[in-house]
């Protein structure tokens, strides 16, 4: 695939004299065919499950489709309604709060964990253990924490009681529910994120560390002057992936708070689901999805630009 592009213009027709070093146009060769064959399953999957639904969703966002009767074009009605929908704006705000808490805590903790693994241990078992929470299904994790953090029966409040604190309604209190959800998912994703960063750390040339040690730099200085700058491309990737994932928070909410108390955890994805599958308002749900898509595309682009993800400081 990579070599096909440059040669293609020079070998556009059969009559053109073939370049000496390239007797047959590459793109007609067996190699390309094999490459296309390998790409095909992913491409079909992409077209069927991403491209087509995206286009259809875009179309449905301009209709009053209700899942069970045919879709009628309704112009910009859904988008106009969206502008005035307080629950929608609230859901954006709630999701943003979730993302900020989730990502900041998770990234900081994962970075710390990754550096610790990198600098202190070579144990594969330890790395495996760190990944364990990620191997448990989202729903199981959410429900386990839901019960552990229960106001009346949960073990967490029991332990808080031992040290003299009043019980906290982690999932039931409007001000606690979003931080609780965010931290539950930090717990689940921490190990995975740490391992991604750890992989990035392993790409950093060991010589740099030796040179720094010879020059007498301490661990903290090494971290800020060497590790962090050299890790930037990996961090950019990790952040883009986790932020986008974080914006799509749904399952944890669906099995625990279901949007409540009041609207405190009615995150965008849950609101979309609610509109589509509880109220059959697929047109409106599609419009919200389109807006969410635009927001995420913007966030990802901005992140890549800000973090100069395509450049490395390592030469």
Partner 1 sequence: MRTTTPRRTTPRRSAPRRSVPRRLVAVAGCLSLGALLSGCGSALGDDPDTVDYWLWDANQQPAYQECADRFEERNPDLEIRIEQRGYDDYWNGLALGFVAESAPDVFTNHLSKYPEYVTRDLLLPLDEYVERDEVPLDIYEEGLADLWLGEDGLRYGLPKDWDAVGIFYDRATLAEAGVDESTLDELTWNPDDGGSYEELIARLTVDVNGVRGDEPGFDPGRVETYGLWLEMTDGFNHGQTQYAMYAYANGWQATDSNPWGREFHFDDPRFQETIAWWRGLIEKGYMPSFAAQRGVQSSDQLAAGNAALVTNGSWMTGTFFSYEGLDVGVAPTPIGPSGQRATMFNGLADSVYRGTDNPEAAWQWVRYLASPECQRIVGEHHVVFPAITEAWEIARGEFAADGVDVMPFTRHVEEGTTELFPITDHSSEIAALMQPALEAVMSGREPVESLNGVNEEINRLFE
Which residues contact partner 1 (rule: CB under 8 A)? 48-49, 53, 66-69, 87, 146-147, 149-154, 166-167, 169, 171-174, 257-263, 266, 274, 277-280
Kindly tell me which of 132 and 140 has the beta carbon lying closer to partner 1. 140
- Min dist. Cβ of residue 83 to partner 1 (A): 18
Comparing CB distances to partner 1, the nearer of 23 and 41 is 41
Among 174, 170, 188, 128, which Cα is nearest to 266's?
Answer: 174
Instruction: Indicate the residue among 278 and 315 with the shorter CB distance to partner 1.
Output: 278
Q: What's the min distance (Å) between Cβ of 90 and partner 1?
A: 10
Read off the tokens for 64.
């009053």
- Joined together, the tokens standing for residue 127 give 């790395």
Eight-state DSSP code of residue 269? H
Closest approach, Cβ 254 to partner 1, in A, equals: 9
Q: How far is the CB of 227 from partner 1 (least distance, A)?
A: 42
Name, in order, each residue with C-beta under 8 angstroms of 97's C-beta and a sequence gap of 6 or more.
178
Q: State the DSSP string of 116-128.
A: HHHHH---HHHHH
Q: How far is the CB of 171 from partner 1 (least distance, A)?
A: 6
**Closest to partner 1 by CB, 154 or 200:** 154
DSSP per residue over the chain, as a string? -TTHHHHTGGG-SSSSPPPTT-SS-GGGSHHHHHHHHHHHHHHHHHIIIIIHHHHHHHHHTTB---SSS---B-TTHHHHHHHH-HHHHHHHHHHHHHHHHHHHHHHHHHHHHHHHHHHH---HHHHHHHHHHHHS-HHHHHHHHHHHT-TTT-HHHHHHHHTTPPP--TTTSHHHHHHHHHHHHHHHHHHHHHHHHHHHHHHS-HHHHHHHHHTT--HHHHIIIIIHHHTHHHHHHHHHHHHHHHHT--HHHHHTTTT-STTTT--HHHHHHIIIIIT--HHHHHHHHHHHHHHHHHHHHHHHHHTTTT--S--
Q: Which is nearer to partner 1, 246 or 256 (CB)?
A: 256
**Smallest distance from the beta carbon of 30 to partner 1, in angstroms?**
32
Least CB distance from residue 48 to partner 1, whole Å? 8
If the CB atoms of residues 1 and 47 are measured against partner 1, the closer one turns out to be: 47
Least separation in angstroms between residue 279's CB and partner 1 is 5
By beta-carbon proximity to partner 1, the closer residue of 198 and 271 is: 271
Whichever of 36 and 48 has its CB closer to partner 1, that residue is 48
């Amino acid at each position: 695939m990579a070599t096909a592009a440059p040669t293609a213009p020079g070998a556009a027709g059969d009559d053109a004299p073939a370049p000496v070093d390239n007797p047959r146009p590459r793109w007609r060769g067996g190699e390309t065919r094999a490459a296309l064959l390998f790409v095909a399953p992913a491409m079909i999957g992409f077209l069927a499950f991403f491209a087509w639904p995206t286009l259809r969703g875009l179309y449905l966002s301009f209709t009053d489709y209700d899942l069970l009767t045919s879709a009628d074009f309704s112009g910009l009605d859904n988008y106009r309604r969206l502008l005035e929908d307080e629950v929608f704006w609230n859901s954006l705000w709630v999701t943003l709060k979730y993302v900020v808490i989730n990502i900041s805590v998770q990234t900081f903790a994962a970075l710390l964990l990754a550096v610790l693994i990198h600098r202190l241990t070579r144990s594969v078992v330890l790395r495996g253990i760190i990944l364990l929470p990620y191997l448990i299904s989202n729903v199981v994790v959410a429900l386990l924490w839901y019960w552990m953090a229960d106001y009346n029966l949960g073990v967490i409040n029991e332990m808080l009681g031992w040290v003299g604190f009043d019980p906290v309604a982690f999932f039931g209190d409007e001000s606690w529910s979003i931080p609780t959800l965010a931290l539950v998912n930090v717990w689940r994703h921490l190990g995975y994120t740490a391992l991604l960063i750890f992989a990035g750390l392993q790409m950093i040339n060991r010589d740099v560390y030796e040179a720094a040690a010879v020059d007498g730099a301490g661990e903290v200085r090494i971290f800020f002057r060497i590790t962090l700058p050299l890790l930037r491309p990996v961090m950019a990737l990790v952040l883009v992936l986790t932020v986008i994932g974080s914006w799509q928070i749904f399952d944890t909410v669906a099995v625990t708070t279901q949007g409540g108390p009041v609207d405190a955890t009615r995150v965008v994805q849950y609101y979309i689901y609610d509109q589509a599958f509880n109220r059959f308002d697929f047109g409106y749900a599609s419009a919200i999805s389109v807006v969410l898509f635009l927001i995420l595309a913007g966030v990802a682009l901005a992140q890549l630009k800000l973090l100069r993800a395509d450049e490395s400081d390592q030469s």
